[in-house]
Amino acid sequence: MTDDLFSEAVRRLDRAAEYARIDSEALLRLSSPRAVLEVSIPVRMDDGSLQVFRGYRVRHDDTRGPTKGGIRFHPDVNLSEVKALAFWMTCKCAVAGIPFGGAKGGVVVDPKSLSRLELERLSRGYVQAIADFIGPETDVPAPDVYTNAMIMGWMMDEYSVIRRRRMPDVITGKPIPLGGSLGRDDATGRGAYNCIRELQRIRGWNPTDLRVAVQGFGNAGQHVARLLAEDGCRIVAISDSRGGILRENGIDIPCAIRHKNSGQSVYSEQSVCGCPVCGEADCHCDEGPLSGSTLISNEELLELDVDLLIPAAMENQITSENAPRIRAPVIVEVANGPITPDADDILSSRGTLIVPDILANAGGVTVSYFEWVQNRTGDYWSTDTVRSRLQEIMSREFHAVYDRMTEQSIDMRTAAYAHAVSRLGEAIACQGTSHYFSASPVHS
């Protein structure tokens, strides 16, 4: 198993360190995870057979607080990916200025192939396997790719059974009646939307002039598309794992969301490629979201001549191979790690503005932090309070990163890492570095 994704991810630190005051020992600490757990999860399947699934949980760094990060159920999960995702969580929490470190978990599984009961048994089995590794003051999981509020609810319940008391603060992204936070569901998309709004103000863009393409139509992709469409932006292309659609006049996003999320399965059986002419009573479109649209591939979507490109699917979508063909002048990374470092260099040298993942998708973990605070205090907030506190954090940190980018003449990703690294370095230095320990003793 190669460690490519993790080592590539960590290399970003070296560049950032040139622009931030950080001790080399702090960099050394951040270049390997604090703890890595690999587990096997035996699950009794509906047909009576036994399947054993592989799972991981990685805690990258806890200097700034308990580690925090989602759990992903996906066939491509591997240790290097989970380590990279945990590292990004450390940086993301530091960029957002919330008192958490970074972690991530994953199970190698195609969750769409499981029944509901199998999915519940797997979710509970995973928690049984990692129960000694997580906890409200050590490591707090959350949803990620192909995990949702219901799965978080099962996991919270399983942990509470193990600890023999109710512990909602062990996991975030739970259903509201089980201690979830209002406003958590759309928080990742909304945080990205807050960043785009700030960019609009700085650049003087008129939303109705913006043509947008969104790759990935899961939770984050749907909400950012919806919020932008509500502002009058034209969402000309959307896609999911099965392909995408392009409609020059703009896609009716509420219709596309309704279609995508219809069906009885835990996971959407519908693809945006099959959006019907809807004709539903509460539909805003006259002709249906698909009329006048063409089917395109995910690769074609990325290369469209749009004003704003939003990769909201998986990592490594824009590589050195397709980067020269990317035409959007602005990319907002709602997925984690959608652009490889090589591709990043190509795009940055061409002047593409990339709002990096550790800033653009920090809204999810920020509202997870709010959820954890609410669980621990027992004081529950209104949707308006959650949204305004999220907006305050996203706007403040967006401007801190943007200003650093302009002041230091660097790309926005380097600026975001430099911002994160200064906060991390400051926290690590409080515990003492070689400068402190090798200096002459205070009392001789």
> What residues from 64 to 123 belong to the interface with ligand GLU (CB under 6 A)?
68-70, 92
335: Cβ contacts below 8 Å, ≥ 6 apart: 215, 216, 220, 311, 312, 313, 314, 315, 317, 357, 361
300: Cβ contacts below 8 Å, ≥ 6 apart: 244, 246
Catalytic residue among 83, 92, 104, 174: 104
Residue 381: both structure tokens together: 């907030």
Establish if 194 lies at the interface with ligand GLU (CB under 6 A): no
Instruction: Supply the minimum distance, in Å, between the C-beta of residue 373 and ligand GLU.
Output: 13
CB 225 within 8 A of CB 188: no
70/356 with CB nearer ligand GLU: 70
66: Cβ contacts below 8 Å, ≥ 6 apart: 100, 101, 135, 136, 137, 138, 139, 140
Establish if 148 lies at the interface with ligand GLU (CB under 6 A): no
352/368 with CB nearer ligand GLU: 368
> What residues from 337 to 366 belong to the interface with ligand GLU (CB under 6 A)?
361, 364-365
> What residues from 31 to 50 belong to the interface with ligand GLU (CB under 6 A)?
none
Instruction: Supply the minimum distance, in Å, between the C-beta of residue 88 and ligand GLU.
Output: 7
Beta partners for 141?
69
Establish if 404 lies at the interface with ligand GLU (CB under 6 A): no
9/278 with CB nearer ligand GLU: 9
234-240 and 243-246 beta bridge pairing: antiparallel
CB 69 within 8 A of CB 89: yes
Choosing from 144, 157, 198, 333, the residue that interacts with ligand GLU (CB under 6 A) is: 144
Instruction: Supply the minimum distance, in Å, between the C-beta of residue 160 and ligand GLU.
Output: 19
Establish if 219 lies at the interface with ligand GLU (CB under 6 A): no
Helix, strand, coil % over all residues of the chain, rounded to 5: 45, 15, 35
104 is annotated as an active-site residue = yes
Instruction: Supply the minimum distance, in Å, between the C-beta of residue 357 and ligand GLU.
Output: 8
Instruction: Supply the minimum distance, in Å, between the C-beta of residue 95 and ligand GLU.
Output: 11
Establish if 172 lies at the interface with ligand GLU (CB under 6 A): yes
Choosing from 219, 270, 298, 336, the residue that interacts with ligand GLU (CB under 6 A) is: 336
CB 432 within 8 A of CB 30: no
103/330 with CB nearer ligand GLU: 103
What's the Cα-to-Cα distance from 444 to each of 411, 433, 439, rounded to whole Å?
48, 20, 12
127/410 with CB nearer ligand GLU: 127
Residue from 130, 129, 176, 187 nearest 152 by CA: 176
CB 138 within 8 A of CB 87: no
By CB under 6 A, the count of residues binding ligand GLU is 12
191/288 with CB nearer ligand GLU: 191
Choosing from 27, 82, 129, 142, the residue that interacts with ligand GLU (CB under 6 A) is: 142
365/405 with CB nearer ligand GLU: 365
Choosing from 63, 219, 270, 368, the residue that interacts with ligand GLU (CB under 6 A) is: 368
DSSP letter assigned to residue 318: B
CB 389 within 8 A of CB 368: no
50-61 and 35-44 beta bridge pairing: antiparallel
Instruction: Supply the minimum distance, in Å, between the C-beta of residue 246 and ligand GLU.
Output: 28
Q: Nearest residue to ligand GLU, using CB?
A: 70
Catalytic residues: 104
Binding residues for ligand GLU, rule: CB under 6 A, are 68-70, 92, 142, 144, 172, 336, 361, 364-365, 368
